[in-house]
Amino acid sequence: MRCTGTHCGMRRRSPSSFTRWRRPVPNRTLFYPKQLLGQGTAQVQSLRSYLEHLALAHNMKPRAMLESLFATFPVTQHEAAIPTLLKRCSVHGNAALGPELRERLERATGCSLEEAGFWRFSGLLAPTNLVRNRTMYCPCCVQEGEELPYIRLLWVADCVTACPVHGVRLRLDSECGAPESERLPVQKRPSLGGVCTQCGSVGHRCVTDAPEAATQEEIAVARQVARLLALPEATINTFTPESLRSGLKQLVSAVYGGSVVRASREAGLSRASVCTWAGGGRPGLPWLVQLCLHAGADVVQLLGGSYSPLEDQSMTGKQYDVMGRTYNFAQTDNETVRRLLREAALEANPPSLREFARRHGLHIDTPKKRFPAEARALAEVGRAHLKRIRQLQYEEAVASYTRAAEALREKGSCVHERTLQQESGLVAFSQNASRVRALQSVLSRFRAHEDEEAVAAG
């Protein structure tokens, strides 16, 4: 007779009975689920800030988290740029990089990050001057509450320089008020928005200067952009290039008598701006907001296809340059432009062709097409000047690293990359090729000397 009991006297259950009552186990994600802060509001968190907070929750550096993310969900075209990936403005813009990174983070966390960038407006707004490279923050927002501060997507917009909540100007995160003795070594500095990167002060409390009050114009610009970011996804999906053109035509007819040239001129834009937008071109966010402020129109309603006056008409009729630039008319006289090109080539710090064109209100291709000989001469002078600067930077870095290496040898310390950079105070980042070359040159020289001493001692 076959025994069906266990050693404890209980009846053995068949494997099928366990399978029948087993609860389904959800699929594991690569990282812990972390919700995007400020969703559905104008205070929504930026993608860069989200990744920094996610890395902190996993006790990782953002770079290590990116490497782990791309190892699981490859993005081959960006692998070489991981060290500088988060510093690039395209992370939040409507280029391909931002949506790719967002999609992989969504797969890795299981959380929606659609509101963390400006890619929601990719079919409507031009990428020009959409987001900035530098990180800025509101000195009042980052000190509110007891939780760790985060960087709002609103502060990433290139045309926003003020906080619409507190009415103060944004500050650069590179500013630090702590004395040199209290600043952290480079390898120990935090990578977290709202925290000072030099001394680690949470909320940038190291900067004791009172917040600077923003102007009425700066607050008006910030409020227009904030209304855009607070829109739900369902509303943004109704915006199309056709609805934008319809809204522009209604605005021009109601405010400027149907003249697109008058609309451009009175708003402080270039002559053909509004005409180009009405014909299907994508407007830049700063200049679309500039037009709406002058006309007293709501930018949200304009994108939706209609003209609706703002409740606050204090900016109506006032010409305000959102990006702080004045429009320069081009030098149309050929001899004048040729003379300016020759004079630029003789300057101690010659400008690039792009800088020259911007300085004199020319199109970037005009000098090369109309004055090829002078443009080539200016470009060659610029390359030679840049080569001299890099050589000078290399020689200065070699001298600093050499002094640091000699000081380390006198102390009896090892000479390698980390100690050499700490002793000299010069950090050889990958984008600073002159310092990297100088560091490798000094290291190879001192290592060879140490090897010779070791052979002689042996």
Give the integer Cα–Cα distance in Å for 322 and 158: 10
Pair 156, 193: CB distance under 8 Å: no
Residue 256 domain flag: no
Q: Which two tokens stand for residue 159?
A: 């045309």
Name the 3-class secondary structure at 344: helix
Give the domain extent around 426. 334-457
> Angle 320-321-322 (CA atoms, 0-180°, nearest 5)?
105
Ranges of the chain whose pLDDT falls below 70:
1-27, 76-90, 94-95, 325-332, 430-431, 448-458
Total structural domains within the chain: 1
Pair 435, 393: CB distance under 8 Å: yes
Residue 383 domain flag: yes
Q: Residue 429's CB: how many other CB atoms inside 10 A?
A: 12
Residue 447 domain flag: yes
Q: Residue 332's CB: how many other CB atoms inside 10 A?
A: 10
How remote is the C-alpha of 18 from its chain's centroid?
53
* Helix 433-457, helix 372-411: angle, nearest 10: 30
> How do residues 361-408 score in pLDDT, each as one tens digit?
787 788 888 899 999 999 999 999 999 999 998 999 999 999 988 988
- 285, 286, 291, 294: CA torsion to nearest 10: 140
Give the integer Cα–Cα distance in Å for 223 and 4: 76
Residue 418 domain flag: yes
Q: Which amino acid is at 151?
A: I
Q: How far is CA 284 from CA 16, 157, 269, in A?
A: 63, 11, 11
pLDDT of residue 433: 81
What residues does 11 pair with on adjacent strands?
A: 5
Q: How far is CA 35 from CA 53, 63, 115, in A?
A: 10, 20, 11
Give the integer Cα–Cα distance in Å for 160 and 131: 9
Name the 3-class secondary structure at 195: strand
Residue 371 domain flag: yes
What residues does 398 pair with on adjacent strands?
A: none
Q: Residue 235's CB: how many other CB atoms inside 10 A?
A: 12
Residue 451 domain flag: yes
Q: Which amino acid is at 382?
A: G
> How do residues 96-110 score in pLDDT, each as one tens digit?
778 888 899 999 999
Q: Which two tokens stand for residue 44?
A: 């929504």
Please choose, from the candidates 377, 328, 331, 382, the residue with its C-alpha nearest in 3D space to the C-alpha of residue 352: 382
Pair 58, 65: CB distance under 8 Å: yes
Residue 446 domain flag: yes
Model confidence, pTM = 0.70
Q: How far is CA 118 from CA 3, 69, 95, 102, in A?
A: 69, 22, 9, 11
pLDDT of residue 364: 79
What residues does 152 pair with on adjacent strands?
A: 45
pLDDT of residue 2: 47
Residue 347 domain flag: yes
Pair 109, 142: CB distance under 8 Å: no
Pair 155, 136: CB distance under 8 Å: yes
Give the integer Cα–Cα distance in Å for 81 and 61: 16
Pair 337, 370: CB distance under 8 Å: yes
